[in-house]
Amino acid sequence: MNDEKTFKEKVTFQVANELGGLEFIDAKYKNQNFSRHSHEGFTIGVIEKGAQRFFRNGGNHVAPQDSIILVNADQVHNGQSATDDGWEYKAMYPLPEQFAHLTEGITTTNSIPYFPEPVVYDPEMAQQLRLVFNTLESSDNRLLRETLVYGTLVKLMSRHGKKHPHVEQPKRTKQQLLIAKEFLDDFPQADVSLEELAKLANLSAYHFSRSFQKEFGFPPHAYQVQSRLRYAKRLMKRGHSLSDIAQESGFHDQSHLNRHFKRAMGVTPKQYMSSL
């Protein structure tokens, strides 16, 4: 029998509304090839079978079975199988503000962690995360779900999180870049040119493009796609139709939205909307 024909990719995407809209996924992939993208939240996942190869921190990494993947919020990354047989994993995407909320009363300031290592080997923590995922999938007891998720995230922070190492652009340049970034965040659907963005930042187009990628991890056009995907997700949560979402968020058509969404999220827009 041909294994290629018997292997079936499968993905379940869910949202826990009582946990601030926490998104989590249970996936089995072989041919999925995630494009370079970022999430508003952190990516915290456990490899159940196989191994995943992914880019983070300017380099490529391999996460084998039973390891934990850690990607910081807004950090550029991708993903694909590191084996011929694909990989299976479970992951969640807590937002920075959820981490900050967790540290209330623990530290003098609300702290958002930075995870320096893309892959960690911590059997106890991996088992704790599995318990969280299994509970999210099988139990509707809100108190149990909240207690397990928040307790596990605090434990993960204490074991593997550090203060964020700030590598700053010159202050004036960073402020100029933020003006352009905020424009792309506020108007993701806008048909704007590199020259227009550079002019907005009061920089030359070449200097702007290089500095933008250094600061935010994406060249301007790729960051625009990420902003459009995030805006599309907000429209999905409001119940808009996919054809309207594609048009309103700046994609050429629905198939263009579908392609970018699947490559970044691992699920189609329709699958994502069914989880809301």
pLDDT band with cut points at 50, 70 and 90 for residue 102: confident
- Return the CATH number at 200: 1.10.10.60
Domain co-membership, 154 together with 175:
no
* Burial status of residue 111 (CB atoms within 10 A of its CB: 0-12, 13-18, 19 or more): middle
User: Does 166 fall in a domain?
Assistant: no
Model confidence over 38-84: pLDDT tens digits? 999 999 999 999 999 999 988 999 999 999 999 999 999 999 999 99
Domain co-membership, 154 together with 46:
yes
Domain co-membership, 246 together with 138:
no
Q: How many Å apart are CA 16 and CA 123, to the nearest integer? A: 25
Q: Which of 110, 131, 160 is the last residue of a domain?
A: 160
Domain co-membership, 216 together with 135:
no
CA distances from 105 to 100, 101, 110, 145 (A): 11, 9, 9, 21
Asked if 183 contacts 128 with a C-beta cutoff of 8 angstroms, the reply is no
Q: Report the domain count for the chain.
A: 2
Domain co-membership, 153 together with 183:
no
Q: Which of 110, 132, 160 is the last residue of a domain?
A: 160
Domain co-membership, 13 together with 76:
yes
* Strand-strand pairing, 22-29 and 68-71: unpaired
Domain co-membership, 32 together with 98:
yes
Asked if 132 contacts 46 with a C-beta cutoff of 8 angstroms, the reply is no
Which pLDDT does position 3 carry in this prediction? Answer: 47
Model confidence over 223-243: pLDDT tens digits? 999 999 999 999 999 999 999
| Domain extent at residue 222 | 171-274
Domain co-membership, 11 together with 133:
yes
Domain co-membership, 148 together with 101:
yes
Which pLDDT does position 43 carry in this prediction? Answer: 97
Q: Which of 160, 191, 217 is the last residue of a domain?
A: 160
- Answer yes or no: is pLDDT of 168 > 70: no
